[in-house]
Amino acid sequence: MTPEAKELLRIRDLSVIFTTRERTVRAVDSVSFDVRPGEVVGLVGESGCGKSVTSLSILGLHEQPAGRMTGSIRLGERELVGASPSALREVRGNRVSMIFQDPLTSLNPYLRVEEQLAEVLELHLNLRGPAARARMLEILSQVGIAGEERLRAYPHQLSGGMRQRICIAMALLCSPELLIADEPTTMLDVTIQAQILELLRSIRKQRNMSILFITHDLGVVSEICDRVIVMYAGRIVEQARTAELLHSPLHPYTEALLRSTPRVDLPGGGSLHPIGGLPPRLSAAKLQECAFVPRCPRAREGCKNGEPALTSAGGERLRRCIVPVAEMVAGR
């Protein structure tokens, strides 16, 4: 972590525990990372890895009954864990915005576009009437939507790509410092996804806005993220700059994930190596061994002696694995 760039978002030892009648689940286990101003950080993993829960924790948006959060999430000077609902409401949509996977359910089907935008403008910026309208048109053109008619439209009248643009517009209205994007392009067609990624890239450049980008798609990560954090079973298993991670992964899970992704740029799709077994069932108990051991092609004796710690691998790289780096890169 370079000392000059002060972090915008600082997460330390975040744990989220959900308790239901049947069982207790530690969905996120001691996660720590930073997001610096103007940086795009990718949070990558498969279902159940905890990436979505982590992102929802920042704004305290968990489903009720709420998960119990411990640890610290600092936005600049402000602590968000344990913050009052009114404090959180002040941050949401204002300093930190969020866009979700399904643009259809993110928009109120009964409200026209202008009404949804107006709500945000009134709440956070105290703008109404013509001033609000001007701002709406401005923001819509920034997300590539031209024309007043779009303002009067209802969500179901718009395509998926359009809806996501509107959601992005809503998120940008108050010029947030951080945008959390939870799988924003997963439900979009490939060509539309390319448009949205391009849009996010240009917005980030214009406004020097940070983005926390949650996805399972390593290709998307490669397109837009500066830094990547890989999660498995609720914990961080690897962290590195994007190019480093994708070309030279230092955790067997990252490596296996890359090898099990069919490659559109290699003949025959490349050779596919599925990861055997199933993702782990999360429980509340502390792990006695590395979470990936049952499925790890590089597992060895030492892996069962308790969970490995997150260690530095040079520069900003972190990895949670005891397999020596030299062994991981050998033969690549």
Partner 1 sequence: MSDAMPLLKVRDLRVHFATEGTVVRAVDGVDLELRAGETLALVGESGCGKSTLARALVGLNPITSGSAELNGRTITGLTRAAARPFRRELQLVFQDPYASLNPRFTIAQTLAEPLLLHEKANRSNVDSKVCELLGQVGLDPELRARYPHEFSGGQRQRISIARALAVEPSLLLCDEVTSALDVSIQAQILDLLRSVQQKLGLSYLFITHDLGVVRYIAHRVAVMYVGQIVELRDTESLFESPAHPYTKALLASIPRVSQGPQARTPLAGEVPSPARPPSGCRFHPRCSLAFERCPKEHPDLYPVSGGSSRCFLSQ
- Binding stretches for partner 1 (CB under 8 A): 46-47, 159-162, 189-195, 197-198, 201, 216-220, 222-224, 242-243, 246, 256-258, 260-270, 272-276, 278-279
Kindly state the tokens that stand for 332. 């690549």
Nearest to partner 1 of 38, 71 (CB atom): 38
Beta carbon nearer to partner 1, 162 or 282 = 162
Closest approach, Cβ 12 to partner 1, in A, equals 29
Query: Which of 11, 220 has the CB closer to partner 1?
Result: 220
Q: How far is the C-alpha of 50 from the C-alpha of 90, rounded, in Å? A: 25
Minimum CB separation from partner 1 for residue 270, in Å?
7
Q: Between 190 and 326, whose beta carbon lies closer to partner 1?
A: 190
- To the nearest whole angstrom, how small is the minimum distance from the Cβ of residue 292 to partner 1? 11
Least Å distance between CB 91 and partner 1? 30
Least CB distance to partner 1 at residue 18 (A): 19
CB closer to partner 1 out of 9 and 44: 44
What secondary structure does DSSP assign to 257-319, as a single string?
Answer: HHHTSPPTTSGGG----PPPS-PPPP-SSPPSS-TTGGG-TT--GGGGSSPPP-EE-STT-EE
Q: Indicate the residue among 158 and 236 with the shorter CB distance to partner 1.
A: 158
Token code pair at residue 92: 């949401």
C-alpha span between 271 and 261 (Å, rounded): 9
Name the packing angle between helices 113-125 and 129-142 (round to 10°). Answer: 110
Least spacing, CB of residue 258 vs partner 1, in Å:
7
Three-class secondary structure of residue 168 per DSSP: helix
Q: For residue 274, count other CB atoms closer than 10 A to its CB.
A: 8
Tell me, what amino acid is at 39? E
DSSP result, 107-118: S-TTS-HHHHHH
| Angle formed at CA 229 by CA 222 and CA 269, multiple of 5 degrees | 40
CB of 257 to partner 1, least distance (A): 6
Say which amino acid occupies 7.
E
Cβ closer to partner 1: 177 or 223?
223
Task: Dig out the tokens for 116 from the structure.
Answer: 């949804």
